[in-house]
Chains A and B, each alone.
Chain A
Amino acid sequence: MLKNGLNFRLVVTITLFLACQLGHAESIEHLAELELEQLFDMEVTSVSKRPLSLAKSAAAIFVITADDISRSGETTLAGVLKMAPGIHVAQIDANKWSVSSRGFSGKFANKLLVLIDGRSVYTPSFSGVYWEVQDSLLQDIERIEVIRGPGASLWGANAVNGVINIITKHSADTLGGLLEAGAGTHEKAFVNGRYGTRISADTTARVYAKGFKRGEYEYPDGEDAGDNWHKVQTGFRLDSYVGKQDQLTLQGDIYKGLLNQSVYVTIDQPPYRYDTEDKFQVSGWNLLGRWQHTNADTSSWKLQWYWDHTLRDEHVWQEKQDTLDIDFNYSFTFFNHEILWGLGYRFISDKTNGTEKFNYTPQDTNNGLWSGFIQDSVHLQDNLILTIGSKFEKNEYTDDEIQPSIRLLWQTDLHQSYWAAISRAVRTPSLVEVNGGYTGGFFPVDSPENHVGVPFYARLYGNPDYQSEVVIAYEMGYRELFTDYGISVDAVVFYNDYDKLRYIDDVLGIKMPTSQDYIPELKIMFTNKNQGYNYGFETSLAWQISNDWQWHAAYAYIQQKIDYFEPFNRQMIPTPPEHMVSLRSQHQMGDKLELDLWWYWVDEANNTSFNSRDYVNFDGYSNLDVVLSWKPRPNTTIRLTGKNLLHKAVTTYIHEDFIYETQVPRSVYLSFTQTFN
Chain B
Amino acid sequence: MHVINLFNSLLISAFLLTSAGAQTLPDLKVVYSFKIAQFTHWPKSIMNGADEFRYCVLTNITDKQRYTFLKGQKINEKPVRVSFFDKVQQNQIALQACHLIYIDSQEREQLAALFLTVEQLPVLLSSDMNGFSLLGGHIELFLQNNKLRFKINYRKVQAHQLTISAKLLKLAEIVEMPIE
The interface of chain A, by Cβ under 8 A from chain B, is 6, 9-10, 13-14, 16-17, 19-21, 23-25, 27-29, 31-32, 34, 36-37, 39-49, 51-56, 170, 172-173, 175, 198, 201-202, 204, 241, 244-247, 292, 294, 296, 298-300, 331-333, 338, 379, 414-415, 481, 483, 486, 545-548, 590-591, 634
Shortest A132–chain B CB gap in Å is 31
Q: A221 CA to B156 CA in the complex, in Å?
A: 69
Shortest B54–chain A CB gap in Å is 18
Asked, given contacts A39-B32, A44-B146, A244-B112, whether A547 binds B22 with beta carbons under 8 Å apart, the answer is yes
Question: Which A-chain residue is minimally distant from B65 (CB atoms)?
Answer: A483
Contact of B11 with A25 in the complex, beta carbons under 8 Å: no
B145 lies within 8 A of chain A by Cβ: yes
Main secondary structure of the interface of A (DSSP, over half): mixed
Q: Which residues of B contact A172 (CB under 8 A)?
A: 108, 129-131
Contact of A25 with B17 in the complex, beta carbons under 8 Å: no
For the A-B complex, the count of residue pairs with Cβ-Cβ distances under 8 Å equals: 183
Contact of A338 with B90 in the complex, beta carbons under 8 Å: yes
Q: What are 11 pairs between A and B in contact, CB < 8 Å?
A: A19-B22, A27-B23, A32-B69, A172-B130, A298-B90, A338-B90, A414-B62, A414-B84, A415-B64, A546-B21, A548-B16
Asked, given contacts A40-B149, A51-B63, A175-B130, whether A486 binds B21 with beta carbons under 8 Å apart, the answer is yes
Q: Which residues of A contact B60 (CB under 8 A)?
A: 53, 55-56
Contact of B4 with A6 in the complex, beta carbons under 8 Å: yes
Shortest A524–chain B CB gap in Å is 50
The residue that A244 contacts in the complex, of B35, B39, B131, B136, with Cβ under 8 A, is B136
Contact of B62 with A481 in the complex, beta carbons under 8 Å: yes
Contact of A51 with B61 in the complex, beta carbons under 8 Å: yes
Contact of A247 with B21 in the complex, beta carbons under 8 Å: no
Question: Which B-chain residue is minimally distant from A30 (CB atoms)?
Answer: B69
Most chain A CB inside 10 Å of its own CB: which residue of B11, B30, B86, B112: B112
B48 lies within 8 A of chain A by Cβ: no
Contact of A333 with B90 in the complex, beta carbons under 8 Å: yes
B45 lies within 8 A of chain A by Cβ: no
Contact of B108 with A17 in the complex, beta carbons under 8 Å: no
Question: Which A-chain residue is minimally distant from B68 (CB atoms)?
Answer: A25
Q: Which residues of A contact B171 (CB under 8 A)?
A: 36-37, 40
The residue that B19 contacts in the complex, of A198, A292, A546, A634, with Cβ under 8 A, is A546
Asked, given contacts A37-B171, A54-B62, whether A44 binds B148 with beta carbons under 8 Å apart, the answer is yes
B73 lies within 8 A of chain A by Cβ: yes
Shortest A266–chain B CB gap in Å is 52
Contact of B4 with A51 in the complex, beta carbons under 8 Å: no
The residue that B131 contacts in the complex, of A55, A198, A300, with Cβ under 8 A, is A198
Contact of B31 with A241 in the complex, beta carbons under 8 Å: no
Contact of B21 with A333 in the complex, beta carbons under 8 Å: no
Q: Which residues of B contact A36 (CB under 8 A)?
A: 35, 39, 167-168, 171
Question: Which A-chain residue is minimally distant from B39 (CB atoms)?
Answer: A36
B26 lies within 8 A of chain A by Cβ: yes
Contact of A31 with B21 in the complex, beta carbons under 8 Å: no
Contact of B113 with A294 in the complex, beta carbons under 8 Å: yes
Q: A45 CA to B61 CA in the complex, in Å?
A: 21
Q: Which residues of B contact A51 (CB under 8 A)?
A: 26, 61, 63, 106
Contact of B12 with A44 in the complex, beta carbons under 8 Å: no
B134 lies within 8 A of chain A by Cβ: yes
Q: A53 CA to B107 CA in the complex, in Å?
A: 14
Contact of B26 with A56 in the complex, beta carbons under 8 Å: no
B42 lies within 8 A of chain A by Cβ: no
Q: A483 CA to B11 CA in the complex, in Å?
A: 28
Q: Which residues of A contact B68 (CB under 8 A)?
A: 25, 28
Question: Which A-chain residue is minimally distant from B36 (CB atoms)?
Answer: A36
Contact of B25 with A48 in the complex, beta carbons under 8 Å: yes
Q: A44 CA to B32 CA in the complex, in Å?
A: 12
Q: A28 CA to B108 CA in the complex, in Å?
A: 27
The residue that A32 contacts in the complex, of B5, B64, B73, B112, with Cβ under 8 A, is B73
Q: A48 CA to B29 CA in the complex, in Å?
A: 12
